[in-house]
Structure 1
Amino acid sequence: MKHYAGLDLSMETTQVCIVDENGHKCASEKVESSPESLAVMLERRGPIERAVIETDRMSPAICLGLRELGVPVVCIDARQAHQCLKAMKANKTDPHDAAGLAQLARTGFYKAVHVKSPAAHGARSVITARSHLVEARVRLDNMIRGLCATFGYRPCSGQGKAFLERISQAAYIPGLGEAIASLLAVREELVAQIKEMDRRLRIIARQSQACEILMTIPGVGVQTAAAFAAAVDEAGRFRQSRNAGAYFGLVPRRHQSGELDWTGRITKQGDGMVRKLLYEAANSILTRSRESFALKEWTKKIAKRRGLKKARVAPAHRLAVIMHAMLCDGTLFQAWVKVKPVCQR
């Protein structure tokens, strides 16, 4: 008889429920949240046809670890699982959630989610760390400007050498000088760490063929290429390149019911960091790139017809499609050649 398992993850322990092919509960047990402990428990209860876990911060490590140990585990969308479990009208407890996940594993009523590789998570971690460091530096700069304004001192805009020289001139003011010296010491360390993250990103880009391909596009730099390659991970998991735009939330929201049918703003679903970087790359193509190519000319036409704001969103969506097609084909960017809309597996 076939058996199916549902795993409700948490930091310390995981609630496991096993049901048979008829939906009858065979076992319910709380296990330590580690791939080894979970694999031992599942093997003790007999061969498992399929195990299901929800997307969570721990799910990549647990899912990849279980697969290495030979456990057939599937990671499913937490939003869909939440709606299904809520429809069961049971109290919100770990055993009930695990039992509901086990029933989803048995019926196959779920949406599987791709679990990214450790290399993709590593690149993503570096980009996320750099983003937080930059935000911390900006907060420090704003704090310094606010303190200076209290004393009637106005530093210049920006964050380069002129800003630092202007700030250092306020060291003679009692109280303000000591506070600024402390903040500048922290700021200097933040800038050093940001440069270290940039160095690591360049190393990642040099070692990645996908990044080298993507950086042939004008306006796409190291950070955008690394973030996109890490988010896609495996280009073949998209049947069509145009699905990449929807994956990053760059397609219009649509609601249709009977005679009602309207189209709204972009959905903003998926990876917000990659969506932001694609938007910045589109803005760079529109305002900074001196080269002339098909994508830029198309963007200029949209800007004249619909305005600059929408002229940045549209090429961001087009960039996602082009970049995915380039990863599928392994070809470099060709300025005046249309991209194939369909990615062959």
Structure 2
Amino acid sequence: MEYFAGLDVSMEETHVCVVDRDGVVIHQAKVASTPADIAQELAKAAACRRVVFETGRMAPMLFHGLVEHDVPVVCVEGRQAYQALKSLTTLKTDRNDARGLAHLARTGFFKPVHVKSLPAHAVRSLIIARKKLVGQRVTLENQIRGLAVVFGVRLPRALSPAFIEQALRSSEGIDGLSAAMRGLIGARAAVLAAVAAIDADIKKIVRMSEACRRLMTIPGVGQLTALAFAAAVDDPERFRRSRDVGPYLGLVPRRYQSGEVDYTGSISKCGDRRVRTLLYEAANVMLTRCRRPLKLREWALAIAKRSTMRKARIALARRLAIIMHAMLRQGTEFKPA
């Protein structure tokens, strides 16, 4: 007899449900959300052929931890699982969700997803933290600029040394404004120091990564783009074709078809938004700043002539994703035609 299990995961506890091939529940329990406790609970029942749980914040840790305990675990697409679970029961409880996931494991009606390695998630955490800090820096600078404008002072570009000097000069002799300016400037200095520390770590990681150094041979692709793309792809072999990376990153047109309705819209914007943005910026650099004769650039400029520059950037970003994946898979450098 074959057995299947479903795990409904939360931060503190996980509901476990094991069913047989006919869908009969043979074991149910509630354990702490740790790989060791879940594996121990599953061992109390019969050996399962497949264990299913949904994507979420704890998915990487649980997946890799359960794999280390020799549990045949599969992480499934959360949006698809949500729609399927709604049709299985009228009452949404953690226990019912675990039982519904067990039935999905039994029937095979699920879409498995690739769980990135923990080192890839660590790199992504570094990139996300940098993006958040840069956003905070911009917010602080805009606040400083807004306070100065009230008193008729227009500050220069925020990254120039004169920005802070004029901001402090404009607040001299005004008690409330002076304290506010010093507080905001101190917070900005702390944020800039944190960004500089992250940039140093990124530079060190890129220097040690052969894959990132190869990707940076493409004109317009810098350290951040190369590192973010390598972390997003993680394992190049999981894509059967290099052109599958475009849909994975949301760089292909969205389409809706139903009967006589057949609509093709803008890009789907699925996947990692940060990587998609970095590829778009790399395409823009190649189109506007690169002076080397490149057939890839000429191809994108031809698209711009018959359509728009924006569509040319998107098409070039998609082509860059395909080329970068092929370079990671084959271990080659960029060869301009």
Q: 1:51 corresponds to which letter in structure 2?
A: V
1: distance between equivalents of 2:80 and 2:210? 35
Q: Which residue of 2 aligns with 1:104?
A: 104
- Aligned to 1:242, what secondary structure does the other structure show? helix
1: distance between equivalents of 2:122 and 2:279? 20
| Alignment length (residue pairs) | 336
Matched, 1:62 2:49: no
- Aligned to 1:7, what secondary structure does the other structure show? strand
Q: Which residue of 1 aligns with 2:80?
A: 80
What's the CA shift for 1:295? 1.4
Q: Which residue of 2 aligns with 1:273?
A: 274
2: distance between equivalents of 1:158 and 1:275? 26
Q: Which residue of 1 aligns with 2:304?
A: 303
Q: 2:107 corresponds to which letter in structure 1?
A: T
Task: Check conservation: 1:214, 1:333, Cα contact below 8 A.
Answer: yes
Q: Which residue of 1 aligns with 2:189?
A: 188
What's the CA shift for 1:89? 3.5
Task: Check conservation: 2:141, 2:158, Cα contact below 8 A.
Answer: no
What's the CA shift for 1:296? 1.2
1: distance between equivalents of 2:78 and 2:193? 38
Task: Check conservation: 2:3, 2:21, Cα contact below 8 A.
Answer: yes
Deviates more, 1:74-83 or 1:146-155: 146-155
Q: Which residue of 2 aligns with 1:339?
A: none
Task: Check conservation: 2:89, 2:96, Cα contact below 8 A.
Answer: no
1: distance between equivalents of 2:107 and 2:296? 46
Matched, 1:144 2:144: yes
Q: Which residue of 1 aligns with 2:133?
A: 133
2: distance between equivalents of 1:288 and 1:281? 10
Q: Deviations over 1:92-126 (max 9, x none)?
A: 11011000000011111111110111110011000
What's the CA shift for 1:158? 3.6
What's the CA shift for 1:164? 2.2
Q: 2:183 corresponds to which letter in structure 1?
A: S
What's the CA shift for 1:228? 0.6
Q: Which residue of 2 aligns with 1:15?
A: 15
Deviates more, 1:268-277 or 1:287-296: 287-296
Q: Which residue of 1 aligns with 2:321?
A: 320
2: distance between equivalents of 1:166 and 1:329? 53
2: distance between equivalents of 1:106 and 1:72? 13
Q: Which residue of 2 aligns with 1:244?
A: 245
Unpaired stretches in structure 1, ≥5 consecutive residues:
337-345
What's the CA shift for 1:262? 2.3
Label 1:6 to 1:92 Cα distance change in 2 as closer, same or farther (>3 A).
same
Matched, 1:261 2:253: no
1: distance between equivalents of 2:173 and 2:63? 58
Task: Check conservation: 1:123, 1:230, Cα contact below 8 A.
Answer: yes
Q: Which residue of 2 aligns with 1:340?
A: none
1: distance between equivalents of 2:107 and 2:199? 47
Matched, 1:209 2:210: yes
Deviates more, 1:312-321 or 1:203-212: 203-212
- Aligned to 2:242, what secondary structure does the other structure show? coil
Q: 1:161 corresponds to which letter in structure 2?
A: P
Task: Check conservation: 1:141, 1:159, Cα contact below 8 A.
Answer: no
Task: Check conservation: 2:246, 2:322, Cα contact below 8 A.
Answer: yes
Q: Which residue of 2 aligns with 1:285?
A: 286
2: distance between equivalents of 1:173 and 1:225? 48
Q: How does 1:143-182 map to 2 (within 5 A)?
A: 143-174=143-174, 175-182=176-183
- Aligned to 2:114, what secondary structure does the other structure show? coil
2: distance between equivalents of 1:166 and 1:307? 41
Q: 1:207 corresponds to which letter in structure 2?
A: M
- Aligned to 1:109, what secondary structure does the other structure show? coil
1: distance between equivalents of 2:182 and 2:292? 44
Q: Which residue of 2 aligns with 1:225?
A: 226
What's the CA shift for 1:162? 2.8
Task: Check conservation: 2:228, 2:275, Cα contact below 8 A.
Answer: yes
Task: Check conservation: 1:7, 1:16, Cα contact below 8 A.
Answer: yes
Q: Which residue of 2 aligns with 1:342?
A: none
What's the CA shift for 1:179? 1.1
2: distance between equivalents of 1:26 and 1:214? 51
- Aligned to 1:292, what secondary structure does the other structure show? coil
Structure 1-normalised TM-score? 0.95
Task: Check conservation: 1:90, 1:96, Cα contact below 8 A.
Answer: no
What's the CA shift for 1:203? 1.3
Task: Check conservation: 1:2, 1:49, Cα contact below 8 A.
Answer: yes
2: distance between equivalents of 1:241 and 1:173? 62
- Aligned to 2:302, what secondary structure does the other structure show? helix
Deviates more, 1:260-269 or 1:120-129: 260-269
Deviates more, 1:133-142 or 1:210-219: 210-219
